[in-house]
Amino acid sequence: MRRGRTLILVLLIVIIGLIVGFVAIRQFVLTPQTPEQPVFVEVYYAAQNIPQGGTITEDVLLTMNLPQANVVEVMYTRDELPLLTNNKVAKFPLDQGVVITESMVNDASAAVPISGPQWASLIPPGMTAMSIPASRLSLSGYAINDGAHVNINACLMFVDIDPTFQTVLPNLTAVLTGTGLGQVTGSEGTGYGAVGLPILSLGVVTTGAPQGRLELDPSLQQPYYLVPSEVQRPRLVCQMLLQDVVIMKLGNFSLVPSGTVTTQPAATDPTAQEQAAAPEAPDIVTLIVTPQDSITLSYLMYTNAQISLTLRNPSDQARQATEASTLQFLLSQYNIPVPAKLPYAMQPALSTLVSPFLTNDTVTVPPQ
C-alpha cells in the first residue's frame, strides 16, 4: 500500500514537470519574441542658416525624431519650444541642419554685442582674409564664386640690373673732359683755393650711348664696339604658388549692415532701370589664406605680378608639385625645336601672331 502511494507521487511529480516544461518551451521557444519598439523624441534643429546674433524663432526651426537613448539634456525637445524661442539669439553662426543645444543660444538681453562684421566669423582660426584684383580672365571666366576652392598662379618678369645703381642694364656711358688740378675762372677772375692750393676741376660730363662690349671680327681681325639695339627684354617665369585656397567673397562686401532696409527711388528712364538691374562685373576677390601667404600676395600685387586663379574640385585635397614654366622649360618639356636659320623665308614677313578673322565673328564697335 505504501509502495503504491510512493509510485503515484512519483508519477504526479513527473507529470507536473512535463507540464511545466511544455509550457516553458511553448512560451519561450515556440512563441516568437517581438523586439521592443524604440521610443523617439522630437528635437529642434536649424531649418536654415542662422547668422550670429540672429533671433531664434519658430520659423527658422524644424524638428527631427531621435532615439531617446541619443537625446541629451542640452537639446531642446518639442515641449521646450517656449524656452528656445523666448527672447533667444544665436551666439555664433548656425549652419542649416545643426541640432540646437543650450550652448548655441543666449538671452538677447544678456547677449554680448558682436564685434566686427558677421562674415569675420567665417574665417578659421589662424587664417586671414585678403582681397586681390581680379578680372574675367583671372577668375576663369567668372566660374569662380563664393566658397570655391582654387589654386593661385603668378607670372613674374626678371631683368638684369646694376647692383650699385639698382637700375636696368646696360648702363649709359659718359665722358669726362677737362679734369685735373688747375685754375678756376670765376666772376672775380682767376684764383686759387682758400689756402693757396689749386682747385680740383671735374670738367664737363657728356652722356653717350648705352654701354656695349668690344668684339673682334673673325674675318677682318678688327675690333668693333657693339651696343644694344633695344631695351633689355624681361625674362618671364610662371609658377603655381598656393593650392586649395578658399574664396570668401567674389566682389565687394555690402556696406549696408545686415537687417537694414534701404529704399531706392524708382527710375523712370528704362535705360537707367536696365543698368540698375544688370550686375556689375566683379573686379576684386577675397581669399582666406595664412598670414604668411597674405604677405606673399601683397608683395606680388604691388610688384605688378600677373595673378590668376584656377578652379578645382572642393573634395580634392591633393597637393601637386609643379615645375616653373620658362622658355627653356617649354622647349625641353614639350620637345619644341628652335627653328633653323634658312636661306629662304615666308612672304610677307611675320613679326607677330594675328588670329584669323572668321565670317561669323562679330565686331564690337564702342559707342561714340
Query: What number is the average pLDDT over the span 148-171?
Result: 95
Nearest CA to 44 among 28, 60, 33?
60
- Sorting pLDDT into bands at 50, 70 and 90, what band is 128? very high
pLDDT recorded at residue 257: 58
Q: What is the pLDDT of residues 239-258, one digit of tens each?
A: 999 999 999 999 998 876 55
- Sorting pLDDT into bands at 50, 70 and 90, what band is 125? confident
Query: What number is the average pLDDT over the span 282-310?
Result: 95
- Does residue 94 surpass a pLDDT of 70? yes
Check residues 209 and 212 and name the one with the higher pLDDT. Answer: 212
pLDDT recorded at residue 30: 60
Can you tell me the distance from the alpha carbon of 289 to that of 124, in angstroms, rounded to the nearest whole number?
10
- Does residue 188 surpass a pLDDT of 50? no
The reply to whether omega before 170 is within 30° of 0 (cis) is yes
- Sorting pLDDT into bands at 50, 70 and 90, what band is 182? low
- Does residue 364 surpass a pLDDT of 80? no
pLDDT recorded at residue 312: 95
Query: What number is the average pLDDT over the span 190-216?
Result: 63
Look at 92-106, 176-190, 341-355 and tell me which has the smallest mean pLDDT: 176-190
Domain limits of the chain?
A: 40-109, 117-159+234-253+280-316+323-335, 171-177+203-230
Q: What is the pLDDT of residues 254-277, one digit of tens each?
A: 876 555 545 555 555 666 555 555
Look at 48-62, 98-112, 144-158 and tell me which has the smallest mean pLDDT: 98-112
Average pLDDT, the chain: 81
Domain 40-109, CATH 2.30.30.90 — does that match?
A: no
Query: What number is the average pLDDT over the span 101-112?
Result: 77
- Sorting pLDDT into bands at 50, 70 and 90, what band is 334? very high
- Does residue 304 surpass a pLDDT of 50? yes
pLDDT recorded at residue 80: 87
202: left (phi over 0), alpha (psi -120 to 50) or beta: alpha
